[in-house]
Structure 1
């Protein structure tokens, strides 16, 4: 840059040099030097030349290069293109002259990205070391290549933390056995994660994903039993041996295994497909085919032009396996109903009966609550209690709609929703001061049992002993909750939760019983507390005196109920792995996605 100014702008060289020498900012900052100069080249008068003085070092330049190739998604050869090379070559040359050699060829840029991935892995290793972790994974195909996406999730005093571990190409059959081997290899070889650290695995309802989760859980049981045998005292040998010999497979899985959590968004999709998919009544199937026929007509070339001329939205044709696109298709069709009615005499295929239009409107109205729930489930920081709350609120909303489809959908959501109420979800909801009221007495008992099992797993992870007879009573109870509800500005969710609280209080009063039968442990001390709205349950528990309850709460509340963050991984893969970069190696794609997704998170 200095040579360029000297050779081409000698009149400005001295002033630029003084500006450079007087700069005292740290490396990596930028100070601009402006000097206007009229050009005289066939109409170029009044244009301005700008001289820029940069303070940069090799490490800072590498950081910018990594961001360009990962977050921005540009290819490795970006800096070899004519325009970019004219910008970066003077910078590279100046760094070389100052004794900081660097090259921005495609091979060197790839090495810079791979180097950044190695450093990021080390930081993630340190961050998750010794923590109880929740996994979630999914499979996707892009340009004929199959990929496994793997996230890890945990909680701390600030909230839910999500980290991408892998976007790995799967070169074997996508069976449950092969997937479980690949996942365990990534955990142990790439991130030094032991199986005793895994608390839950969130998957969709696919048979291969469920089998992979069960195989990993079995391996975790063996690992935790082995750790327990290594840590036990001689005086406890007989007690532990008797316990293990008399234990059923169910006890071992609940105490030492990994819980599988089904994705709430996928479960909702199955419930909706029960109503409008292959299992739907023939009348509903025929109605949807009639809608698709009209939409195909609206998407013909001449009609598309007419819609555009009238500033009307384009018709949407659904993908039959994705119910959300079916809802979008029907909603858009209703928006174009006036256009269809105005032109049905000219275009016979646009003609529909009034009863058919009424049926389409009923379909949209009945599916609207499920569509709203789908959007809410896209929040990757959703806690289990919030998920259950939104699920129940959606069923209440469906119940207020007097349509057969809404009633059927509410019934299917109730039936499939039971698979979501696994012990970790109940435990997390129990420790959520806002959503605890959603649990009945039996669910609270299961939640407390699960929290004791979680406590044992945490102690095993930390190499501590525990009381095999159960009971956690070594610390003070949780602080009483205070009611701080603004009754003048209640949301539908708050109204539902307060109604649940009142219902439970009425039932307890009529039966003459208390919620807590034996308040002897700090886990029991949480029960019996009234509804309390909190902005962040993680922060709430960090302010409590009980460190044990705080640790349990952070672990439980971080259990993922959806695979949203993994789905976003695949959206990133679609952005990076396009038709022009389909030959990108697995190592390069892994390095790009690891840095891209973790920086965005």
Structure 2
């Protein structure tokens, strides 16, 4: 199973190729002001003259990690006026930038501003699934399906640059997550075991994402895997033989009440713990504090 954050990185990098020159010019401008203490001080003076309230400083991205590119663009956009002023005041800045791609243009800043909300979707998702102090397996496929839906919506965006970017992302997304046969069942089962979601939610997602036909096949596969996994942990194979031996040795095997309960399906053991769990109401969602899933299962372990 591939790392979710790594695939997100590949998807976004493919999309960013559409405005690669614009990002390169902004990156070079950031690199210039961070290349020496003197240039940094000069840039800080520009920030003060423009009365920019943003207290942070620009950070240079790591080109192989797109989320650092997002942070670089976010900070640079807030300090755009300072970059414009530096361009007017510092001749060295113009000369040095001209050796490569030149200074950032108005179009570059406009592109960066238009794609930032779209990139934030991926940035936030990366943070959520990269946590190490809480359970993330139940988040994996929720994030995957949510991102797929948002990419699809942005493929119809009126802004051409965003539309082209989303189309490239869609191709990469489909490669890893766009076909039902590559979905890992355990990641869907992890959502079922989230007491805030359970099976109905997953079934709805599968229909929404893959359509009724393919979604139906996945739902059937999921239910079979879920029951198979439950039976495996219950040791049903061994249990069936021991039950037969016990029935033979029981003195009250002809008890008419036991025969009635078993034949009508009203035996107290007829419904498995899995069935009861799935039929219970979901736990209410609390937006201010996320449910501690491990704590919930520990509390309900009996």
Q: Which one of 270, 278, 290 corresponds to residue 10 of structure 2?
A: 270
Is 2:271 aligned against 1:535? no
Is 1:430–1:447's contact at 8 Å kept on the other side of the alignment?
no
Q: Which one of 109, 113, 123 corresponds to residue 361 of structure 1?
A: 113
Distance (whole Å) between structure 2 residues aligned to residue 383 and residue 466 of structure 1: 33
1:337 is matched with which residue? Answer: 80
| Offset from partner CA, 1:506-559 (integer Å, 9 cap, x none) | xxxxxxxxxxxxxxxxxxxxxxxxxxxx93444555666xx7xx8xxxxxxxxx
- Partner SS for 2:109: helix
Is 2:196–2:284's contact at 8 Å kept on the other side of the alignment?
no
Is 1:267–1:417's contact at 8 Å kept on the other side of the alignment?
no
TM-score normalised by L of structure 1: 0.34
The alpha-carbon distance between structure 1 residues 446 and 306, as it changes in their structure 2 partners (threshold 3 A), is same
CA deviation after TM superposition for structure 1 residue 423, in Å: 1.7
- Partner SS for 2:194: coil
Distance (whole Å) between structure 1 residues aligned to residue 270 and residue 190 of structure 2: 20
Q: Which one of 117, 132, 146 corresponds to residue 393 of structure 1?
A: 146
Structure 2 segments unaligned to the other structure (5+ residues) = 49-54, 207-215, 242-268
Distance (whole Å) between structure 1 residues aligned to residue 195 and residue 171 of structure 2: 28
1:287 is matched with which residue? Answer: 22
Is 2:29 aligned against 1:303? no
Q: For residues 108-119 of structure 1, what are the structure 2 equivalents within 5 Å?
A: none
1:587 is matched with which residue? Answer: none
2:202 is matched with which residue? Answer: 438
RMSD between aligned residues:
3.7
The alpha-carbon distance between structure 1 residues 538 and 406, as it changes in their structure 2 partners (threshold 3 A), is same
| Offset from partner CA, 1:470-500 (integer Å, 9 cap, x none) | xx967454053236758xx979xxxxxxxxx
- Partner SS for 1:482: coil
2:280 is matched with which residue? Answer: 481
The alpha-carbon distance between structure 1 residues 482 and 448, as it changes in their structure 2 partners (threshold 3 A), is closer
The alpha-carbon distance between structure 1 residues 339 and 308, as it changes in their structure 2 partners (threshold 3 A), is closer
Is 1:315–1:332's contact at 8 Å kept on the other side of the alignment?
yes
Distance (whole Å) between structure 1 residues aligned to residue 84 and residue 226 of structure 2: 60
Distance (whole Å) between structure 1 residues aligned to residue 219 and residue 40 of structure 2: 57
Distance (whole Å) between structure 2 residues aligned to residue 337 and residue 264 of structure 1: 33
Distance (whole Å) between structure 2 residues aligned to residue 483 and residue 391 of structure 1: 22
Q: For residues 134-283 of structure 1, what are the structure 2 equivalents within 5 Å?
A: 261-276=1-16, 280-281=17-18
Structure (1/2) with the larger helix percentage: 2
2:254 is matched with which residue? Answer: none
Distance (whole Å) between structure 1 residues aligned to residue 30 and residue 294 of structure 2: 48
Q: Which one of 168, 173, 195 corresponds to residue 413 of structure 1?
A: 173
- Partner SS for 2:31: helix
Distance (whole Å) between structure 2 residues aligned to residue 483 and residue 451 of structure 1: 18
Distance (whole Å) between structure 2 residues aligned to residue 483 and residue 326 of structure 1: 39
Is 1:459–1:465's contact at 8 Å kept on the other side of the alignment?
no
2:209 is matched with which residue? Answer: none
The alpha-carbon distance between structure 1 residues 411 and 485, as it changes in their structure 2 partners (threshold 3 A), is farther
Corresponding residue pairs, total: 233
- Partner SS for 1:465: helix
CA deviation after TM superposition for structure 1 residue 373, in Å: 0.7
The alpha-carbon distance between structure 1 residues 295 and 408, as it changes in their structure 2 partners (threshold 3 A), is same
| Offset from partner CA, 1:86-109 (integer Å, 9 cap, x none) | xxxxxxxxxxxxxxxxxxxxxxxx
Is 2:121–2:147's contact at 8 Å kept on the other side of the alignment?
yes
Distance (whole Å) between structure 1 residues aligned to residue 189 and residue 42 of structure 2: 57
The alpha-carbon distance between structure 1 residues 542 and 305, as it changes in their structure 2 partners (threshold 3 A), is closer
CA deviation after TM superposition for structure 1 residue 362, in Å: 2.4
TM-score normalised by L of structure 2: 0.62
CA deviation after TM superposition for structure 1 residue 322, in Å: 1.2
Is 2:177–2:183's contact at 8 Å kept on the other side of the alignment?
yes
- Partner SS for 1:317: coil
Distance (whole Å) between structure 2 residues aligned to residue 290 and residue 467 of structure 1: 69
1:465 is matched with which residue? Answer: 238
Distance (whole Å) between structure 1 residues aligned to residue 103 and residue 30 of structure 2: 12
Distance (whole Å) between structure 2 residues aligned to residue 313 and residue 432 of structure 1: 38
Structure 1 segments unaligned to the other structure (5+ residues) = 1-260, 492-533, 551-601
Is 2:26–2:103's contact at 8 Å kept on the other side of the alignment?
no
Q: Which one of 312, 317, 333 corresponds to residue 60 of structure 2?
A: 317
- Partner SS for 2:112: helix
1:373 is matched with which residue? Answer: 125
Structure possessing the higher radius of gyration over alpha carbons = 1
CA deviation after TM superposition for structure 1 residue 325, in Å: 1.7
